[in-house]
Amino acid sequence: MAKNIFASKTFWLNVIGVGVSVTGMLPEKYALPTLGVLNIANRFLTNQPVTLSLGAPAQPTPPPTSPNFPGGR
């Protein structure tokens, strides 16, 4: 089930990363590679998709059916 974008660790990691880069808290030659490594590490910790809608979470789409396979799949 998809979660709201504002509940995403990846979203907030990137917001903080942009803030660090823009304010110059770290030199750009360190900030950008560090953000890349953190995004890769975070990807191993996350497993849910996100949605950009601000309302109710999107319902999962059922798999397509085909008459060529038994059981309609």
Written as one letter, the residue type at 11 is: F
Q: Which of 12, 16, 1 lies closest to 47, judged by CA? A: 1
Query: Is 66 part of any domain?
Result: no
Domains of the chain: total: 1
pLDDT, one tens digit per residue, over 1-58 is 778 888 888 899 999 998 988 898 988 888 889 999 999 999 888 888 888 866 555 5
- Axis crossing angle, helix 9-23 with helix 28-45, rounded to the nearest 10: 170
Task: Look at residue 46 in the predicted model and tell me its pLDDT.
Answer: 83
Query: Is 62 part of any domain?
Result: no
Task: Look at residue 37 in the predicted model and tell me its pLDDT.
Answer: 93
DSSP string, 43-72: HHH----EE--SSSPPPPPPPP--TTSGGG
Query: Is 28 part of any domain?
Result: yes
Query: Is 64 part of any domain?
Result: no
Distance separating alpha carbons of residues 14 and 7, to the nearest angstrom:
13
Look at residue 66 and tell me whether its pLDDT is greater than 80. Answer: no
DSSP state of 19: H
Query: Is 30 part of any domain?
Result: yes
Query: Is 48 part of any domain?
Result: yes
Q: Is the pTM of this model over 0.85?
A: no
Banded model confidence at residue 70, pLDDT cuts 50, 70, 90: low
